[in-house]
Amino acid sequence: MNQAVNSNVFKHSIKYIILVGLVVVSLIVAGTFAWLTYRSNKTKMVLTISDFKNVEITLSPYVINTKLSPVATYTGEKYTSVKAQSTGTVSKNFSLYYKINSIASELAISSFKYTITKSTNGTSYSHLKTGNFNGATSNSQLNILEETLPAGETYYYRVYIWLDSSGGNQTAASGKSFNGELMAEIA
């Protein structure tokens, strides 16, 4: 009888140890997947968007939360790096847009701008487009670029936001806040 009781206790102990081992392994695998999917540190947040046809768009940082001061040119301002890469055999259309979480009404003006530069080699960038946030509102979306990515190509972009000082008196807009996310969509 003692031997039967010891055998049952041993079987239950083994089951418990196996169950705990499986839970620990599951947590490690889930944690590793989450870490690989969402990487961040104090200076950047990376967002990668992809489709099933081997097209991937990476934005770093994609979260923009800043107070603005007027400047003469966008070149000294912070930017988001965008890498659009296709390893597929078909051209793909994609778009970039700002998901505007909040914008001070003083920034919904033509002097609050975005500028996009483009490169095919990742080192030499040229001006592609400049637009503005005139009329933008909180909890809205502002489309800033529609582009076709040829099969097998990689394009690099830098997307700047800045407050242009050449458009007159910007004292009302100085120091006001913008909070948004630069997003991508693959068609």
Per-residue pLDDT tens digits for 47-102:
888 776 688 999 999 999 988 888 989 998 889 999 999 988 888 999 999 999 99
In a domain, 42, yes or no: no
Q: Predicted confidence band at 36 (pLDDT cuts at 50, 70, 90)?
A: very low
What's the chain's Rg over C-alpha atoms?
25
Residues 6 and 79 in one domain: no
CATH number of domain containing 51: 2.60.120
Question: Pick from 62, 136, 144: which is nearest to 102 by CA?
Answer: 136
Residues 65 and 152 in one domain: yes
Residues 56 and 138 in one domain: yes
Residues 90 and 4 in one domain: no
Give the total number of structural domains in the chain.
2
Distance between CA atoms of residues 67 and 172, nearest Å = 13
Q: What is the pTM of this model?
A: 0.73
Question: Pick from 125, 143, 37: which is nearest to 83 by CA?
Answer: 125
What is the pLDDT, as a whole number, of residue 146?
A: 97
Residues 64 and 9 in one domain: no
Per-residue CA distances from 128 to 59, 118, 119, 146, 184 (Å) = 17, 6, 9, 12, 17
Q: Which residue has the tokens 């081992």?
A: 21
Residues 53 and 137 in one domain: yes
Residues 24 and 114 in one domain: no
Range of the domain at 179: 47-186
Per-residue CA distances from 183 to 50, 69, 109, 161 (Å) = 12, 24, 22, 14
Residues 101 and 137 in one domain: yes
Helix or strand holding residue 23 (H, E) = helix 2-37
